[in-house]
Structure 1
Amino acid sequence: MKTLIRLFFRTLRIVLGPFMLLKERLSRPAALQRSAERQAEVDRQCTELALYQFKTCPFCIKVRQEIHALALPIQLLDAQHEGDNRSALKQGTGAYKVPCLRISDAQGRVQWLSESGAIVAYLRGRFVS
């Protein structure tokens, strides 16, 4: 029964995934405009951030839309498939839950922020002036 349920959701993801990505692309908000100096500072700060995500996860799409709206060059890391990104997410948070924002600082400390609403609130608070 468990295999049947997994097969159902995998098939659903394969069928609906392209439509979700198309909708994301077509409904992308306009990017925030900043002065060149301010954008350079934002770009520098974003080197400390990375978003672990699944391509067709609706909550990840919500966060990516906000990243685009705020004109943030945050590294997007696919954690859906086996590999280094998935392992790093599991090691850092203890789970494979996405979206998850990795926040590093100059001293090498790392914080992990999950939940799409919390990530969006953090990005707005940090980058909307």
Structure 2
Amino acid sequence: MFVIRWILGRIILLLDFVFSPKKRQRPQDEQTSIDQQTKNLALYQYKACPFCVKVRREMKRQNLNIPVVDAKQDHNKQQLLTNGGQLKVPCLKIEANGKTQWLYESKAIIEYLNQRFA
């Protein structure tokens, strides 16, 4: 089972690389403003997870510089479980007004990004 998942993961990464979306072009001052807003976000993900790839592609399409955190590392996994409540990826950590919100599900994350930045 591990070998099959590994092979499928590599295929997903290859296809993501080959068919990478184009970045959205914005004026420099607008892009700087968006970069400031994305400093309060972090995406917890697995590199070869198809749902994580879907979210990363949307981030690239919108030219969002959101830090990506590898949830396979033990300390990141523990932080996700302890603070977010679930060991599930993709997960968008949103820090705003002194509060932290953990948003799961790729569809919900993409909707949030579209509403806030598109």
Do Structure 1 and Structure 2 share a fold, with TM-score over 0.5? yes
1:68-107 equivalence runs, <5 A: 68-82=60-74, 84-105=75-96, 107=97
Partner AA of 1:81 in structure 2: Q
Aligned residue number for residue 24 of structure 2: 32
Give deviations 1:94-118, integer Å, cap 9, x for gaps: 221000000002x431001000000
Identity %: 42
Instruction: Tell me by how many angstroms 1:127 deviates.
Output: 0.4
Aligned residue number for residue 56 of structure 1: 48
Aligned residue number for residue 122 of structure 1: 112
Partner AA of 1:13 in structure 2: R
Count of residues in correspondence between the two structures: 118
State the Cα RMSD in Å. 1.0
Larger Cα Rg: Structure 1 or Structure 2?
1
In structure 1, stretches of 5+ residues that fail to align are: 1-7
Instruction: Tell me by how many angstroms 1:80 deviates.
Output: 2.0
Aligned residue number for residue 16 of structure 1: 8
Instruction: Tell me by how many angstroms 1:27 deviates.
Output: 1.2
Partner AA of 1:47 in structure 2: K
Cα distance in structure 2, aligned partners of 1:96 and 1:80: 10
Return the TM-score normalized by structure 2. Answer: 0.95
Cα distance in structure 2, aligned partners of 1:64 and 1:22: 14
